[in-house]
Structure 1
Amino acid sequence: MTPSELQAYLRTHIPLSAAMQVEVESAEWDHGLLRASLAPNINHRDTVFGGSASALSILAAWSLLHVRLRSSGIASRLVIQSNRMDYLRPIGGSFSARSSLEEADQWPGFLRLLERRGRARLTATAELIAEGEVAGLFSGEFVALGYGNASTDRGG
């Protein structure tokens, strides 16, 4: 899935991404990188609203898993079950979230469990980056509910 295809998917299926003006910069197997500007995400202190920072991090982590599942030919419903967001400093401009798996070697076991039980969970993380520095840290547990191969995909 190319960055432009993922961006179109997000804007169609997760309208908040359009309102936040999220741009997909990278949609790779080992990471995802999403970006947003300050203007649509501003708070009363002229910095990024915490909910926008959290939402961008969730979208980046979700996108990484979505791309991996699609690349593996697995259709599933992917939802977040729980998360933690640590805000390290205010963000006064555009910001990015770079996602990765918490443990790279958890993917094969996740796929086996999804195939065997039709349900699996794993943890993805994201670094919130602003002005070249880490401004926040995200960790989220996602659950995939499987229902066949990607040709019968019913959404994300």
Structure 2
Amino acid sequence: MSELKSLLKKTLHEEIPLTREICISVITASPQLIELSAPLAPNINHKCTAFGGSLYAVAVLAGWSMVFARLHAAGLHAHIVIQDAQIEYLLPVVETINARCELVSNVEFDRCLKLFSRKGRGRIALDVQIVTQQGLAVRFCGNYVIHV
């Protein structure tokens, strides 16, 4: 297991106890790609599909984890919070929840880190997708703030 992957798993489970309750696993952790998963059983609703709150939580955490990975790669420590978000539930999820946050360009993150170094605060918008065998189930966009 990569250093970042094990550090992220440890941080999530120690600092965000909900991640243990919903059984979050770190599948991939790099400064370009975060993949998290959570089994259906502890996240199920009365319709035998994934609970919307669990889908939201896994999506938020995938974005949070991307910020964590980027800060780690830059050798920086900061508080990470979600400022606001939009989510679209497109399909029911009837299998393991798999969330993916991929950074295709470094430009926005570099801008965020530059602002953080100047003002002690930066902001970045990140997209997360939850994809199932049936297709794109959840589209999420969250604004994350880093601060000292």
- With normalisation by structure 2, the TM-score equals 0.93
Runs of 4+ in 1 over 4 A off after TM superposition: none
Match of 1:74 in 2: 76
> Cα distance, 1:121 vs. partner?
0.5
> Cα distance, 1:81 vs. partner?
0.2
Distance 2:95 2:125 in 1: 28
The answer to whether the 8 Å contact 1:95/1:131 transfers is no
Code of the residue aligned with 2:74 in structure 1: it is S
The counterpart of 2:110, out of the listed 104, 108, 111, is 108
> Cα distance, 1:94 vs. partner?
0.7
Residue 33 (structure 1) aligned with residue 14 (structure 2) = no
The answer to whether the 8 Å contact 2:32/2:104 transfers is no
Distance 1:62 1:102 in 2: 16
The counterpart of 1:134, out of the listed 127, 133, 136, is 136
The counterpart of 2:97, out of the listed 95, 98, 104, is 95
Code of the residue aligned with 1:60 in structure 2: it is A
Distance 1:14 1:82 in 2: 18
Q: In angstroms, what is the RMSD of aligned CA positions?
A: 1.4
The counterpart of 2:146, out of the listed 144, 147, 156, is 144
Distance 1:141 1:112 in 2: 17
The answer to whether the 8 Å contact 2:4/2:69 transfers is no
Q: 1:80 to 1:104 in 2, by over 3 A?
A: same
- For structure 1, which runs of at least 5 residues remain unmatched after alignment? 147-156
Distance 1:96 1:141 in 2: 20
The size of the alignment, in residue pairs, is 146
- With normalisation by structure 1, the TM-score equals 0.89
Q: State the percentage of identical aligned residues.
A: 34
